[in-house]
């Protein structure tokens, strides 16, 4: 990877492809492309792999691949050397036991991110099936939550290497 020191994966779930357009009063006006540019500018020595899907199975597959749960793909460069996963599971946060199980199997830290504060949203959004199996949760920070998640992962790596 040349000058790149490490790889962090960002996974977004359903409807996050509409970021910047969908309910801007809740989710803001910045597109994910803008968010990713800001993250890359802030951390030029980190390689970011980004995926978004409206399909639960895609998110589970990516968690397994990047989290090291599927031995047969670990040799593939795309899936190797991942130091952390940032996961905004969208609506699956509240419903997907299967996604929770994939997080449990991850061999790298998974940080849960929510743009809004789900604890202050509708009753059905207040429960996360992921929070207690993720290493860290960031919510209510807007799209800045993604950059905070990167910073958290890098702090953990620095602590481990100290």
* Catalytic hit among 27, 43, 47, 66: 27
Distance CA 44, CA 105 (A): 29
Active site residue 94: no
* Catalytic hit among 79, 114, 136, 146: 114
The burial class, CB within 10 Å (0-12 / 13-18 / 19+), for 87 is buried
Active site residue 27: yes
Structure letter (DSSP) for residue 39: H
Secondary structure of 61-103 in the HEC alphabet?
HHHHHHHCCCHHHCCCHHHCCEEEEEEECHHHHHCCHHHHHHH
Who's near 135: CB < 8 A, 6+ residues apart? 109, 110, 111, 156
Distance CA 49, CA 154 (A): 16
Structure letter (DSSP) for residue 132: T
Residues designated catalytic = 27, 114
């Amino acid at each position: 990877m040349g000058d790149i020191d490490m790889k962090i994966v960002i996974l977004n779930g359903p409807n996050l492809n509409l970021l910047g357009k969908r309910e801007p009063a809740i989710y803001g006006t910045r597109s994910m492309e803008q968010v990713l540019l800001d993250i890359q500018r802030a951390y030029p020595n980190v390689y970011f792999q980004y995926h978004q899907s409206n399909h639960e199975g895609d998110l589970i597959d990516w968690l397994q691949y990047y989290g090291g749960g599927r031995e047969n793909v670990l040799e593939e460069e795309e899936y190797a050397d991942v130091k952390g996963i940032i996961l905004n599971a969208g609506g699956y946060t509240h419903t997907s036991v299967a996604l929770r199980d994939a997080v449990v199997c991850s061999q790298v830290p998974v940080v849960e991110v929510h743009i809004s504060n789900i604890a202050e949203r509708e009753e059905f959004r207040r429960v996360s099936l992921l929070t207690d199996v993720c290493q860290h949760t960031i919510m209510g920070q807007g799209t800045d939550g993604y950059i905070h998640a990167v910073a958290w992962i890098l702090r953990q790596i620095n602590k481990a290497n100290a």
